Structure 1
Amino acid sequence: MTPTEPVARHGAAARTAARTAVRPPLPVKMVIAGGFGVGKTTAVGSISEIEPLTTEAAITEVAAGVDDLSHTPRKTTTTVAMDFGCLTIDPTLKLYLFGTPGQERFGFMWDDIVEGAVGALVIVDTRRLDDCYAAVDYFEHREIPFAVAVNAFDGRVEHPLDEVRWALDVADHVPVVVFDARERGSVRDALLVVLELALARAEG
């Protein structure tokens, strides 16, 4: 064996290891949207594998006079910028989740939050469908793939899914599902629905 052979073997092994090394997962941006108090922050917190970043602020008397708290009487804080979390789907894909603020007065932030997102999960509270029209319209007009996720508050929903679809006037290709924002597996399943939509759009 010549003196250079061990060096050559080491170099070849290093090149082979570099070729077979596991690549970092592909980062994918997804938005979680919806009206005030529908469960966006809860959903991000339930699924995120890191401590989620939230921008919660106390609801003041002034804000209480603007936001409808009749169906969320125990809600004492509200998102004033965004929520952020992440989820590794598999070794090849990692979701970065951005939750939008729900109040109309913070709508000016949406364009920046949504930029670069492959899709969105629009969370709906069937007790307050009117609060969800703006989010549905936003993604429809921008032709961003989205799914409607009906949050099962107290384990139930007020209306059947076909009635929710009709009331929101969403197209047949838009999935409408039931999920529980408190349950990690339920949130994951809803996000995978959006991911499948985004992949289908990319392949089409």
Structure 2
Amino acid sequence: MKLMVTGPFGVGKTTFVRALSEIPTLHTEETMTAPGIPVDDTTAIPGKTSTTVAVDFGRLTLPGGDLVLYLFGTPGQRRFLPLWEDLARGALGALILIDTRRLADSFDSMDLIEEAGLPYAVAVNRFPDAPPIDLDKLRAALDLAPTTPLIECDARVRDGCLDALIALTEHVLDRLPQETAP
């Protein structure tokens, strides 16, 4: 099952994929340079020195071995939209990571996923300096459907990432057409 891990610049997509992958991840992190400063605003994420310029890839086999998840982490900047569209092709769903300190940055990713027609779940990456949140208020602020999974996780911690991925996978499987008996 091909799944996207998406969200705005600096939200923790690379960290999320690395936390879950059972194989060494393929990642295209590059050092940010001075010419990129006006393009990639790091004011809200001090200390960020690298960014994904193409894709993060990881794999996770669920217990029993019947279902293998292929995780494709996307770049978070709009200038990589053509690559994002290529990564979306064939995906069955997406996990949108958000940062409550920069909630407005999430709407572009959500719009892209909705335009692509992909089922999705939203995972709040709990940054240490982020204020506590009320998930019901956040659901309203994001204008999420009641059936859209909304969970919290720490992209550095495997168990929480796994919970987010399970919520997404269940959501995707619930929406797949059921095979009908002949």
TM bin (shorter chain): over 0.9
Partner of 1:80: 53
Distance 1:39 1:62, change over 3 A: same
The 5 Å alignment of 1:1-150 reads 28-90=1-63, 91-150=65-124
Partner of 2:134: 160
Contact kept? 2:88, 2:116, Cα under 8 Å: no
Partner of 2:165: 191
Q: 4+ runs of 1 displaced by more than 6 Å?
A: none
So what's the TM-score if we normalise by structure 2?
0.92
Query: What's the offset of the Cα at 1:165?
Result: 1.6
Distance 1:117 1:166, change over 3 A: same
Which AA in structure 1 matches 2:56? D
Distance 1:93 1:38, change over 3 A: same
RMSD across aligned C-alpha pairs, in angstroms? 1.4
Which structure's residues are more often helix, by fraction?
A: 1
Query: What's the offset of the Cα at 1:141?
Result: 2.2
Give a deviation string over 1:80-111, Cα, whole Å, max 9, x none: 00100000112101101000000111112111
Contact kept? 1:127, 1:158, Cα under 8 Å: no
Identical residues among aligned pairs (%): 47
Mind listing any 5+ residue stretches in structure 1 that lack a counterpart? 1-27
Which AA in structure 2 matches 1:160? D
Which AA in structure 2 matches 1:44? V
Q: Secondary structure at the match of 1:173?
A: coil
CA distance in 2, matches of 1:75, 1:157: 20
